[in-house]
Structure formats: C-alpha cells, structure tokens
C-alpha cells in the first residue's frame, strides 16, 4: 500500500542485455505514456562494475580499477526487481526522456552518470550498489 | 513453538471471509496480477497457497515487505485456494484490492 518504485530506488534489471545489473530509478511513469502504455521508468545503471582494489595497488592502478561504466535505459516495471536499498544521486537533470532520442545525447548522458557514479563509489558509500551480483 | 496445525474454526472463518470478498469486493487472482497490484499500491492483502514454489513465495513476500502489504499464507494448496474463491481452477496467489463488506483485512494480517 506504499509506493516503493520511486526515484532513488535501487533495482536489479532482470531482462535484456543488462540483466543482472544494478540500476537506480531516475524517473517513473506509473501509468505509461502513449508510446509505452505500461508502467515503466528511466533507470541509470552500471554496465561494468569497478574491480576490487587491493592495498598493494599504486594510485594509477586504483584509478584504473575504480572506473565505472554506466548505461541509461527505459525499462518496463516487469523487468525490474526492486530492492530495499536506495541510492540518492542527483541524476534528474542529466537523464531525461529526450536524452534517449539520439545516440550522441545518450552517450553524453551516460558519460555524465559515469562521472557521478564514480565519485559516489570513491566516497565508499552505497557499497552494495557497486558490488557485482553473483549468479 | 508455533502452532503447527491451524484449528478448523479459524480456517473456516478465512474461507467465509474470502467468500464474502469474492461476492462483494475487488480482487485479482494469479502471480502476474498480484505483482502488478502490489507495484501500483492497490493491493491490501496478499494470500499465498502453501504449495507455491518457494522462490515465487519469497519474491511476493519481498514485494509485499517493500509495499508494507500484509501476506497471509493460506492453509491449503492451490486447489483448495481456488475452491475457496469459488473458482474451478487452481489459484496459487491472490491479491485483495477492496474487501467490500468483509473484515478480512482487519482480522487477518496479524498472523503470517
């Protein structure tokens, strides 16, 4: 009875190329739109997780290992598994509906989310989000 | 120790309440619609049969936990739950959207 699919919710993608990846909901469309008459949402997720950094690594290596590759996608609610975790990064201005219209806009949006996710990873918070789901 | 066997009396009362919901309230039957109603926060109570596959059962329970919806584990399998709903098919899980005249929401969610 409580709405839980809200912006900031961490979800797992279940279908598609990014199945098994973690993502965060940026914007919901609970009642759908004319093009997509089903409940769906805009998510920003991790395409490639950052590798494990060990104490032995020098700064250049840690910088290389802490890289995150991001993606932006519109996903049906059916293809998501919501979790109890949240990730509050401000991606509302970066990821919008019209960024998914053309390829270069999508690339710039992904690059910007990559930057924001990387800086969140480096603070050490939301560790669950940046660990790969083993299955 | 948790009461392993539910008394006949409470089991009958659940059946009576379910019958009243079927007659006067709104409900959906089936896994896909149960998840749909939980997602759009229409579900008030979810009832799962006892032979529901454990992965599906945990998934519905997790969704219900996120949405703060009560889950009731029915004391019977999907055949019995279908019969209790007055249907001639098996029902593994159902979701009550509007209880109508029944007090199933107020009296049931206490027990899991």
Query: If pLDDT is split at 50, 70 and 90, which confidence band does B10 have?
Result: confident
What average pLDDT does range B101-107 have in this prediction? 86
Residues in B closer than 8 angstroms to A3, CB to CB, are 40-41, 67
Select from A1, A6, A81 the residue whose CB has the most chain B CBs within 10 Å, as the one to mutate to test that interface: A1
- A71 and A44 Cβ atoms separated by less than 8 Å: yes
The string of pLDDT tens digits covering residues A7-25 is 999 999 999 999 999 999 9
In this predicted structure, the answer to whether residue A134 has a pLDDT above a threshold of 50 is: yes
Predicted confidence at residue B107, as pLDDT, reads 83
Predicted confidence at residue B24, as pLDDT, reads 94
| DSSP letters spanning B37-64 | HHHTT--SEEEE-TTS-HHHHHHHHHHH
The residues on A that touch B, with CB distances below 8 Å, are 1-5, 30, 39, 77-78, 81-82, 84
Query: Across the interface, do B69 and A77 touch by the CB < 8 Å criterion?
Result: no
The residue among A43, A42, A48, A26 whose CA lies nearest residue A131 is: A48
The string of pLDDT tens digits covering residues B60-82 is 999 999 999 999 999 999 999 99
Structure tokens given for A121: 């990873």
Query: Across the interface, do B68 and A1 touch by the CB < 8 Å criterion?
Result: yes
In this predicted structure, the answer to whether residue A128 has a pLDDT above a threshold of 90 is: yes
The residue among B71, B8, B7 whose CA lies nearest residue B34 is: B71
Chain B: give the shortest CA distance to residue A17, in Å. Answer: 22
Select from A4, A11, A41, A81 the residue whose CB has the most chain B CBs within 10 Å, as the one to mutate to test that interface: A4
* ipTM of the complex in this document: 0.90
Query: Across the interface, do A82 and B41 touch by the CB < 8 Å criterion?
Result: no
Residues whose CB falls within 8 Å of the CB of residue A31, separated by 6 or more in sequence, listed in order: A39
Query: Across the interface, do A1 and B65 touch by the CB < 8 Å criterion?
Result: no
- A82 and B63 Cβ atoms separated by less than 8 Å: yes
Q: Measure Cα distances from A110 to A53, A68, A127 in Å.
A: 24, 11, 21
Residues in A closer than 8 angstroms to B106, CB to CB, are none
């Amino acid at each position: 009875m409580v709405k839980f699919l809200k912006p900031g919710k961490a979800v797992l993608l279940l279908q598609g190329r990014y199945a098994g990846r973690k993502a965060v909901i940026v914007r919901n469309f609970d009642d759908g739109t004319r093009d997509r008459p089903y409940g769906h949402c805009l998510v920003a997720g991790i395409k490639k997780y950052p590798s494990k950094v060990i104490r032995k690594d020098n700064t250049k290596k840690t910088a290389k290992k802490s890289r995150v590759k991001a993606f932006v996608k519109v996903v049906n609610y059916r293809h998501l598994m919501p979790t109890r975790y949240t990730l509050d990064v401000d991606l509302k201005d970066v990821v919008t509906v019209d960024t998914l219209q053309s390829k270069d806009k999508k690339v710039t949006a992904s690059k910007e989310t990559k930057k924001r996710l990387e800086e969140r990873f480096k603070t050490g918070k939301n560790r669950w989000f940046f660990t790969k789901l083993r299955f | 120790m948790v009461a392993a066997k539910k008394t006949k009396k409470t089991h009958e009362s659940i059946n009576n309440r379910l019958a009243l919901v079927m007659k006067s309230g709104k409900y959906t039957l089936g896994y896909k619609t149960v998840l749909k109603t939980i997602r759009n926060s229409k579900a008030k109570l979810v009832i799962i049969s006892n032979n529901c596959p454990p992965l599906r059962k945990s998934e519905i329970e997790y969704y219900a936990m996120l949405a703060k919806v009560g889950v009731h584990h029915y004391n019977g399998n999907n055949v019995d739950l279908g019969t209790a709903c007055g249907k001639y098919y098996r029902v593994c899980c159902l979701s009550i959207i509007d209880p109508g005249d029944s007090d199933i929401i107020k009296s049931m969610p206490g027990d899991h």
